[in-house]
Amino acid sequence: MADLATVYLHGQPGSSAELGLFGTNYAIDYAPDRQDALLAEPEQLAKDVARALPHHSLHLVGFSLGAFAALRLAAQLGDKVARIDLVSPAAPLDGGDFLTHMAGRAVFSLARDWPRLFAAMTRVQSGMARFAPHALFRQVFADAAGEDRMLAADPIFRARWLEMVRSSLSRGGWAIGQK
């Protein structure tokens, strides 16, 4: 295999626009749109990535729930994967007592305990991303504290966050298991 190509696996719902939150231009060679329900299946995602980068070794970067996708993709692609970076990986909620210490605790609890209600909330947020993105921003950051509060006050971060949300949710983001 030739060059090392970086594949970015976004959170869910999410998009490659998440990279804008970091404020740096990352050299990403491929970012499959996992909002496409077909690409939620590990076998199909592996075929898609292999087709896009047939002659490359792969560096997989998974963000949030994209970390899980990166690990499943690595299992499918085997020796083609040279490196994996997991950024803010989401862990199984039943694997320990993390939920009480997590930002977004209420949302993760809702997803675990009431998946249909979580899917409905995702649809509402999708509508807000399309028609009232600034209201969604205020809602998400209403209880921000510490450095998150400082980020929420930064107009550059706000603009990047709004772009990320528009890209991630404006097409009607779906919740895992709710294809």
pLDDT at 82: 96
Query: Where does a domain end: 87, 102, 128?
Result: 87
List the structure tokens of 116: 């249909």
Query: Where does a domain end: 29, 55, 87?
Result: 87
Residues 78 and 136 in one domain: no
- Is the N-terminal amide bond of 13 cis, ω within 30° of 0? yes
- What DSSP state is assigned to residue 34? T
Residues 151 and 115 in one domain: yes
Amino acid at 143: D
Number of structural domains (the chain) is 2
Q: What is the pLDDT along the chain (179 residues), one digit of tens a residue?
A: 568 999 999 887 777 777 777 666 667 889 887 776 666 788 999 999 999 999 999 999 988 888 888 999 999 999 999 999 988 787 666 667 777 766 667 877 888 889 899 888 888 888 888 899 899 888 888 877 777 788 888 898 888 888 888 877 766 554 444 44
pLDDT at 71: 92
pLDDT at 57: 94
Residues 56 and 101 in one domain: no
63: containing domain: 4-87
Residues 105 and 147 in one domain: yes
Identify the helix (H) or strand (E) that includes residue 59: strand 57-63
Residues 149 and 108 in one domain: yes
Distance CA 70, CA 73 (A): 5
Distance CA 29, CA 27 (A): 6
Query: Where does a domain end: 87, 107, 141?
Result: 87
pLDDT at 178: 40
- What DSSP state is assigned to residue 12? S
In a domain, 178, yes or no: no
- What DSSP state is assigned to residue 96? S
